Chain A
Amino acid sequence: MFKHSVMTVAIAAAFALPLSAGAAESPELAAIRAQIQEMKQSYEARLQALEQRLQDAQAAVAEAQNAAASAQQANAPAAPAAPAPAAPTTAAAGDNSFNPSISLVLGGTFSNLSQDPSTYRFGGFMPPVGEVGPGSRSFNLGESELTMAANIDPMFAGQLTFALTGENEASVEEAFVRTRELGGGTNVKAGRFLSGVGYLNAQHSHTWDFVDAPLAYQAFFGGQYKPDGVQVRWLAPFNTFLEVGAEVGSGRSFPGNDRNKNGFNATSVFAHAGDDIGDSASWRAGLSYLRTGAADRAYEFDGIPNAFSGKSSIWMADAVYKWAPNGNPTRTNFKLQGEYMRRKESGTLAAGELADAYASTQSGWYLQGVYQFMPNWRAGLRFDRLSSGTPFIGLVDSGALGMDAFPALVRYKPQRSSVMLDWSPSEFSRLRLQFARDEARPGQTDNQVYLQYIMSLGAHAGHTF
């Protein structure tokens, strides 16, 4: 279809040959010149008309392809497409046409742990409820995830994520509806969702750079904080990224527990700011605050039952810096991230029949760097630290009981160093090797080796920054 243009260019070039304009021209010459001018113009007009016809024809082909594509989408996800522009067909909507998109993440680990995982604990901390510790030895199914998501109508979209564990359990990781068109930089979510506090909390575990969550997330959230409630986020209309958000929830997720109470039992607020530094780097930093409570949050240690009731509040600071040459992460890139958490709990602590005042301030942080040194290959280093502090325990202070009645709460600073290497042959698969030296238990070192695979199938959701 381009032959005509090449040919016509040759003609145009012939017309464009310089005709030197003499100072004094004979009428004959002027007439020839006028004739050439006229031919040029009519030629130009014909050329433009042809061009227009060509464009119209191409636009028609594009439209036919659009129609074919939408018909195909409506039929079945993998139906063969018409290779040539087909005649516009009306969308024959099948039963599956409005089904949610499905994405499946399959994960598994092979673990070698030098210490018995059933004795895992964070020295100086009440044992958290949730996904804590290195998991079992040998082969583990790990956590697989099944996500279904779809637009509900122009106003709402919904998503459901099941976490499937090796213990043959399916749990609801996330199940929420969200607004689509509120505009004004506002998004609202309701249901169960990964809270916006901190940095890593909002990210699904298969996108993490290490096999397991930082110790601080395990000790303070039991893995990740996933409230049942409502979240509002607002992005400020500036050229610099500034986002604020607030959540209210039932308060049932750790460090809270079910208090059989009406109203908003857990509230959190967070703010994130960020920007680009030239083409190659960007950063994001945030501050978050979570306030919740517990009633008879029981734990047992060394056969001694204890229970905490009272308020629990957590401050978090998080920062991440990413670098990729010219903003192109394909070949090499680097990511540095760190978070600090500080939890205050105050109320009463019961031991058997006795109960008295309790107050603690505990903190933890981690810092990690991941470097992609060549396409598909990354190496990472992480350091974790927790500080239990010395809690105020009324029963000990009054002399009613000795510290031996609270062996879990003896001051300690758990720490862990991890190093990992992973290989991702494509965007959809990743294999990882990780070594960790875990000193969470007082006086014991657990040498942990993990081999992990993470594969994603089906629809592929984008990754957040």
Chain B
Amino acid sequence: MRTLTKSVSNKLLAAGALALSLALPAQAAINVLTCEPEWAALTTELAGDKASVSSATNALQDPHRVEARPGLIARTRNADLLVCTGLDLEAGWLPLLVQQSGNAKIAKGQPGYFEAGSFVPRLDVPAKLDRAEGDVHAFGNPHVHLNPHNIALISAQLAKRLAAIDPANAAYYAARQADFAGRWSQAMRKWETQAAPLRGLTLVEHHRNMEYLMSWLGMRQVGTLEPKPGVEPSAAQLGQLLAQLQQQPAKLVLRAAYQDERASNWLSQRAHIPAVVVPFTVGADKESGDLFALFDTTVQRLTQAVK
């Protein structure tokens, strides 16, 4: 009888302990929500399993135009850290999302809000702000991530921020950042050798979202498919662009995986230049599973197109 009671009480104790361990997270991993997939990939590089990371958008979404979907509001509510490009890229949806989530930790100006774009030198800071120019970005071109030197700068800052949010693991983040930085600078040297033939290349892009890639590899844009930022191309405008290419020829027409292929294919056929799709961000296709693969694929697609 006594042994029976004892075993029952032991079982109860065990069950209680189990219930407790289920209720309380075993390892207090921080919750990180990123606006774009590249920052989710970077956070994972730096935080490993110390953070549970998810991205608000996937690689096939246009980061300018995202809806504050219910599932996204719920994820925003539970985030300890929000990592976004900023520079008004997400102006159409992020402020509303943060407000609706009622999460004070990640409001602008709080340590829980990390604006990646503010840590790198910006291109295309406009001299004039007028909506007649389309959906212009007042703080400069926000598509900063396609220059890997920017990733290096942001990575150093993000590691510090992770440490500030989660001081218990500060040493861990610092060690992973050092390791990542080493591998990244080696990879950059590799990409720069591979991409040497791209220097001086002229191209047409869909939206002005490849400027940082071009400035990194010494390429130059001679036209965009969009007549104005955020305005979809029309047949007449594409015809004009085609005529303009007679004077200023381009070697290829470049677009991101999330962009509509029709305009780019139209120009490719008529101007007899290859249409090149780059993943633009992590996860756009199976060749771009992480940040290293993203740049491997981007450099490879570009160099192959001009061979």
Contacts and interface: CB of A to CB of B under 8 A. Distances in A.
Nearest to A275: B71
A427 B69 CA distance: 19
A322 interface: yes
B29 interface: no
B65 A330 contact: yes
A143 B175 CA distance: 59
A393 B70 CA distance: 44
Given A55-B152, A240-B71, A275-B71, A82 B125 contact: yes
Nearest to A76: B129
Contact of B73 (A184, A235, A279): A235
Contact of B70 (A8, A182, A274, A462): A274
Contacts of A48: 185
Interface stretch (A57-65, A336-344, A361-369): A57-65
A327 interface: yes
A333 B152 CA distance: 37
Given A80-B128, A239-B75, A461 B96 contact: yes
Contacts of B101: 185, 235
A299 interface: no
A13 B193 contact: yes
B287 interface: no
Contacts of B232: 330, 375-376
A48 B183 CA distance: 12
B127 A81 contact: yes
Interface string A302-342: 00000000000000000000101011111100000000000
A328 B61 contact: yes
Contacts of A156: none
B58 A279 contact: yes
A464 B60 CA distance: 21
A238 B70 CA distance: 11
Given A186-B102, A239-B74, A58 B120 contact: yes
Interface stretch (B130-138, B159-167, B242-250, B273-281): B130-138
Contact of A65 (B75, B96, B125, B127): B125
Contact of B120 (A62, A69, A83, A327): A62
A438 to B, nearest CB: 31
Contacts of B100: 187, 235, 464
A373 interface: no
A137 interface: no
A329 B74 contact: no
A77 B126 CA distance: 13
Contacts of B96: 461-464
Interface string B76-111: 011000000000000111111101111111010000
A462 B97 CA distance: 9
Contact of A462 (B92, B127, B131): B92
B181 to A, nearest CB: 9
Interface in B156-214: 156, 185, 188-190, 192-193, 196
B189 A276 contact: no
Specify the main secondary structure of chain A where it touches its partner. mixed
Interface in B241-270: 258, 260
Interface in B219-246: 230-232
Of residues A328, A425, A457, which shows the largest number of chain B Cβ atoms within 10 Å of its Cβ? A328
B198 to A, nearest CB: 11
A400 to B, nearest CB: 53
A10 B193 CA distance: 7
B76 to A, nearest CB: 9
A80 B121 CA distance: 18
Nearest to B259: A330
B154 to A, nearest CB: 10
B77 A328 contact: no
B292 interface: no
> Chain A interface residue count: which class?
35 or more
B73 to A, nearest CB: 5
B67 A237 contact: no
A87 to B, nearest CB: 15
Given A13-B193, A83-B125, A328 B60 contact: yes
B286 to A, nearest CB: 15
A462 B71 contact: no
Contacts of A54: 149
Interface in A61-106: 61-62, 65-66, 69, 77-78, 80-83, 85
B44 interface: no
Contacts of B258: 328
B92 A427 contact: yes
Contact of B121 (A6, A62, A69): A62
Contacts of A12: 189
Contacts of B121: 58, 61-62, 65, 85
B260 A375 contact: yes
Contacts of B129: 77-78
Contacts of B68: 462-465
Contacts of A47: 185
B153 A330 contact: no
Contact of B104 (A61, A181, A279, A461): A181
A264 interface: no
B188 A282 contact: no
A5 B184 CA distance: 13
B153 A58 contact: yes
A5 B189 contact: yes
Contacts of B188: 5
A273 B74 CA distance: 10
6 contacts: A9-B189, A58-B150, A239-B74, A279-B60, A282-B69, A284-B70
Given A81-B138, A462-B91, A465-B67, 20 more contacts: A9-B189, A9-B190, A47-B185, A55-B153, A62-B118, A62-B122, A78-B129, A78-B130, A83-B127, A180-B104, A181-B104, A183-B102, A235-B73, A274-B69, A327-B57, A327-B66, A426-B231, A427-B65, A461-B96, A465-B69
> 9 closest Cβ contacts across the A-B interface?
A274-B70, A241-B70, A183-B104, A276-B71, A462-B96, A61-B121, A326-B60, A181-B104, A185-B102
